[in-house]
């Protein structure tokens, strides 16, 4: 099989997963968007968390042109993306018991806020305890994960539970265990991950739903505009000023 054919197979796999998520998670997407709109309307704050590559999906909805200005990144030093050396440190930190509680206690998150937690496997202590601690503090939790991991892998948390077990709403990304869509007889390992594409699209669908739900209530969604269009900076400055008490990435 040629390289160009593999490229097409990858697109087919990604499109198939996107269609599955669109159709099978429609109810969850609507519920998650409504819950975010409820939080905004009640003057709550929004946070997103993910570790390793899951953090990239969290960053996709923070300070984003066309996105809600109120979404803040809840970062864990060393576990946000692959910007630390060694890169394997992030994977190790996901397995540290108690880290999530320290991070939450040091953050501005409080009762009445909402936290989106992204974890493909949902099996490591960091995302599990992040959800557990967030709900104990009175936050609503939306989990974005692959539910398949709960039946095909063993939890690494002492409770034996997964992220999906500690959320108000769970969105299933449908990603297969291992996050690799393609195989070849001449390649010893599966390859071509789709979790980034699917998870980001899933979250943007939720954010779009939230914006529409706010508009339906007569509330102007606090959206950001691109700084590369005329008037974008001025628009954003107004939003930043109006919602200064709920935006933490500018402090």
Nearest-5° Cα angle at 202, 137 to 60 = 75
- What pTM value is reported for the model? 0.94
- Sign of torsion, CA 235 236 240 243? positive
Average pLDDT over residues 121-135: 96
Average pLDDT over residues 103-107: 93
Residue 40 has pLDDT above 60, yes or no: yes
Percentage of residues of the chain with pLDDT beyond 90: 86
Residue 44 has pLDDT above 90, yes or no: yes
pLDDT for residue 34: 98
Average pLDDT over residues 122-138: 96
- What pLDDT band is residue 2 in, cutting at 50, 70 and 90? low
- The C-alpha R_g of the chain, in whole angstroms, comes to 18
What digits encode the pLDDT tens for the residues 216-227?
Answer: 999 999 999 999
Residues whose CB falls within 8 Å of the CB of residue 162, separated by 6 or more in sequence, listed in order: 121, 122, 123, 128, 145, 149, 150, 155
Residue 16 has pLDDT above 60, yes or no: yes
pLDDT for residue 223: 98
What digits encode the pLDDT tens for the residues 74-98?
Answer: 988 877 767 777 877 777 888 888 8
Average pLDDT over residues 56-62: 95
pLDDT for residue 94: 83
What digits encode the pLDDT tens for the residues 170-211?
Answer: 999 999 999 999 999 999 999 999 999 999 999 999 999 999
Question: d(Cα 69, Cα 27) in Å, to the nearest integer?
Answer: 24
- What pLDDT band is residue 137 in, cutting at 50, 70 and 90? very high
- What pLDDT band is residue 1 in, cutting at 50, 70 and 90? low
Average confidence score pLDDT of the chain: 94
pLDDT for residue 127: 95
CA 180 to chain centre: 19
Residue 117 has pLDDT above 60, yes or no: yes
Q: Please provide the DSSP assignment of the chain as one string.
A: --HHHHHHHHHHHHHHHHHHHHHHSHHHHHHHHHHHHHHHHTT--EEEEE-BTHHHHHHHTSS-TTSBTTEEE---TT-BTT-SSSTHHHHHHTT-TTHHHHHHHTSS--TT-EEEEE-SS--SHHHHHHHHHHHHTT-EEEEEE-THHHHHS---STT---GGGG-SEEEE--PPTTS--EEETTEEEEE---HHHHHHHHHHHHHHHHHHHHHHTT----B---TTSTTHHHHHHHHHHHTGGG--TT-
Cα→Cα distances 180→118, 132, 196, 208, 250, Å: 18, 29, 11, 28, 37
Average pLDDT over residues 117-122: 96
SS (H, E, C) 106-131: CCCCCCCCEEEEECCCCCCHHHHHHH
pLDDT for residue 91: 79
């Amino acid at each position: 099989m040629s390289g160009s054919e593999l490229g097409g197979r990858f697109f087919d796999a990604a499109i198939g997963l996107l269609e599955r998520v669109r159709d099978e998670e429609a109810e969850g997407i609507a519920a998650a968007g409504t819950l975010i709109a409820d939080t905004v309307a009640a003057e709550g704050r929004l946070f997103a968390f993910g570790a390793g590559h899951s953090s990239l999906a969290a960053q996709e909805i923070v300070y984003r042109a066309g996105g809600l200005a109120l979404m803040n990144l809840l970062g864990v030093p060393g576990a946000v993306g692959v910007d630390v050396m060694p890169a394997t440190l992030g994977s190790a930190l996901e397995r540290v018991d108690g880290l999530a509680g320290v991070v939450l206690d040091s953050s501005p998150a409080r009762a009445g806020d909402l936290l989106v937690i992204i974890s493909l496997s949902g099996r490591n202590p960091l995302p599990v305890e992040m959800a557990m601690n967030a709900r104990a503090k009175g936050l609503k939790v939306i989990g974005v994960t692959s539910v398949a991991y709960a039946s095909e892998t063993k939890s690494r948390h002492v409770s034996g539970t997964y992220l999906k077990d500690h959320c108000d709403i769970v969105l299933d990304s449908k990603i297969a265990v291992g996050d690799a869509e393609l195989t070849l007889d001449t390649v010893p390992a599966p390859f071509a991950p789709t979790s980034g594409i699917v998870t980001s699209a899933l979250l943007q669908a939720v954010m779009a739903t939230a914006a529409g739900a706010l508009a339906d209530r007569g509330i102007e969604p606090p959206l950001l505009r691109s700084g590369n269009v005329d008037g974008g900076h001025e628009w954003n400055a107004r939003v930043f000023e109006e919602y200064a008490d709920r935006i933490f990435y500018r402090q």
